[in-house]
Amino acid sequence: MSGSQIEQGRLQAKLNDFSTAWQQRLQATGGGLDATARYAEGGSAQQRFSLRGIDAASVQLARSETVQFSLGTRTSAPVVLEAGQSEQSTVRTLDQALAPLGIRATRSDRGELGFQTAESNWNAVKSGIQVRGEGRLFPTGRFSALRAEASATTVQPERWSVADAEGVQQTLTQAVRLGDSLTRARRAAEANLDQLAATDETVIGIDQAQILTDDFT
């Protein structure tokens, strides 16, 4: 086995260790560190995401349509997306429909429509959110699957690669950036620890993630 293969194997093992630890982040920090490596006060980590086909532009361009959402055994009340309604009204209407499913509709500082849910609910949303409409924006009849996509700022080490030099460089860059985010998260957790809004578990969990990140870099 060549030296380069040994080095690649070493990096892959470290990446696997970190990816496993990141998947256990919620439990390790008591919900105090979200998927973007930000501190979540009171263990309230949220997952931000988009829903394919649901954005302010497509809603405004379509004709009015009654839509309904489903997640697991829960079904939302039907709501009407009005043609030409404002982005603020669209967010409010979708939020009203999705709130009973544990999902909130949001609007970013740039005015973009998005969604968020408790991280503990994310896997269910990702694999099970469904919609039905009246055949314009969404199919009528039976519920059909909606594609939920995690926010671009979500840390996803399972997608990092050390298979080649370019992949290693990109992964190291992301790991360094993550390390900086973890440092900021720890400071925020420490500040809230003094106010009893954070727990030792959160700080210790962030420290463990930081150690693994530093070791990888």
Measured between alpha carbons, how far is 88 from 63 in angstroms, rounded to an integer?
17
Residue 21: pLDDT band (50, 70, 90) is confident
The contacts of residue 119 (CB under 8 Å, 6+ apart) are 26, 31, 34, 35, 45, 46, 47
Helix (H) or strand (E) holding 65: strand 65-71
Sequence spans of domains, the chain: 3-44+156-216, 53-146
34 CB-contact burial (10 Å; exposed 0-12 / middle 13-18 / buried 19+): buried
74 pLDDT band, cuts 50/70/90, is: very high
CA 115, chain centre distance (Å): 9
Against a cut of 0.85, is the pTM above it?
Answer: no
pLDDT tier at 135, thresholds 50, 70, 90: confident
Per residue in 25-44, pLDDT (tens digit) is 888 888 888 988 888 887 88
The pLDDT value given to residue 81: 87
* Per-residue model confidence (pLDDT) at position 71: 96
Among the listed residues 123, 118, 153, 125, the one whose alpha carbon sits nearest the alpha carbon of residue 46? 118
